[in-house]
Structure 1
């Protein structure tokens, strides 16, 4: 593997926050708020930034809007931490276009999701990812999230891609099958970057040799998510475990509805954004929002600590 990929592999570690896409009251992208959210992340120790992944509502945006979000993020980050935007789509050519755009704007890597809705077979998935990887020189992080795509990228397919494509350097596994993620490192090699996209598996994946997590919860509580990784890499296993369990209730609450609806509701309560999603996504029910607000109060994440009525 070339030195350029080895260098970024050493940097892409820890908590990589998949920053949400803020919309204003007219449902237009709020680029000022996006920059503020990224600064909030960096001020709280986040180790890397991603945008336009699942948490960024990419399927609710045009291709050009996705490029604009990536460009604004790249300008805001300005090389301070690694940047790995989501460039995948259900459309093959669009995925290549967005991945090439990520390279053009100086992204450190691109995160490419298994195509959703299409349900391609493993042979087709191999051809899709190989063609995308061959179209660019930047590293690729494959994004496997069978709960949203209705298709699992099998370990054997991923291992073949890792062997045949030097720039496929890792995978984000939003996969609750912990046997599967163990076999990823067994078959792809322990130097293959394994990121957790399942909040309750962020710590367990570190324990088997994972590189970190790409966790929606870090949008709301970036400091503790980053600290859990810092503690683990510093060898403070007890603190990492304690933070894992401390974050568990917040993780559960932020997934009481489809991501990123609860996260956006929480960030709205924290006065970070207008809590707006584009249809067909919408905010959680009032009952769920009451639970979110009380949880934020319990975690000392709200300045307004009035009890929920």
Structure 2
């Protein structure tokens, strides 16, 4: 299977859409479809679900499959679709990745297993086994702040060398030196996405493919526009958007993602602001700050 076409297509702002719940905590598939339409109307270049913003550890395996299926149906081929299929359980990761392949997704995003803290050799074996189990492109998701383990550059490069379908990585890694070395040792055609909001613009400067930013849930148009400006060579506009988005980025990460994002979407009238325990909404004070910030950005927000 050739992967050049997906490397050409899967670029820009890949919006990691939240999983909306009803007041009774059931998954709201109708709202999920509306959120995806909101993304497409505002220029997002691709869609992901069941990544960190999608609360996958709060979903059953069956719910994760249904969320992916509903997203695939809603997108209907209009933009690339790269759902998160990883978990802390190896067999479950393979099962979900195979399910994604059966659905015809464009790529699967597989997170470094969380909580377990595997060593580098175990991580290599985990990702290689997953990649070997399917033919679809794999995007490694490295987020050491939430998995308690960093996928080292040498391990990433080894996987890219041994697994032709590992085509990229979402790096939610604040160590920008690490990110630069990933690009160097994995190759300049490696699809490198920023998962750190304040590094979305700097990542483009070193040849990154785009971003998978939780902020796109709330302000999809400007997050996508930043990438468009860079591609068009309008560096000043891209820089302006980078700094313009900074305050919104900051407030949306003053509590654990996706709690502030869901609070914001609730204020915007997009969803019921519901998370499943053990996750919960931000404090009253932070919700008020989010509300004020949305008003500053001229994003429709109801008073808390």
TM-score, length of structure 1 as denominator length: 0.97
Determine whether 1:56 maps to 2:50.
no
Aligned match of 1:221: 219
Matched residues in 2 for 1:18 and 1:302: separation? 21
SS in 2 for 1:271: coil
Aligned match of 2:93: 95
1:185-204 matches, cutoff 5 A: 185-204=183-202
Aligned match of 2:299: 301
Aligned match of 1:250: 248
Aligned match of 2:81: 83
CA apart distance, 1:303? 5.7
The one of 151, 154, 166 aligned to 1:153: 151
The one of 112, 129, 132 aligned to 1:131: 129
TM-score, length of structure 2 as denominator length: 0.99
Unpaired segments ≥5 residues, structure 2: none
Matched residues in 1 for 2:78 and 2:300: separation? 28
Matched residues in 2 for 1:142 and 1:303: separation? 35
Matched residues in 2 for 1:223 and 1:77: separation? 17
Aligned match of 1:184: 182
SS in 1 for 2:245: helix
SS in 2 for 1:87: coil
Matched residues in 2 for 1:158 and 1:296: separation? 38
Matched residues in 2 for 1:160 and 1:303: separation? 47
1:170-223 CA distances to partner (integer Å, 9 max, x unpaired)? 000000000000000110010000000000000000001000000000000000
Aligned match of 2:289: 291
Q: Which runs of 4+ in 1 moved over 6 A?
A: none
CA apart distance, 1:302? 1.1
Matched residues in 1 for 2:234 and 2:206: separation? 16
Matched residues in 1 for 2:234 and 2:101: separation? 36
Matched residues in 1 for 2:44 and 2:178: separation? 27
What is the number of equivalent residue pairs in this alignment? 304
The one of 35, 38, 41 aligned to 1:37: 35
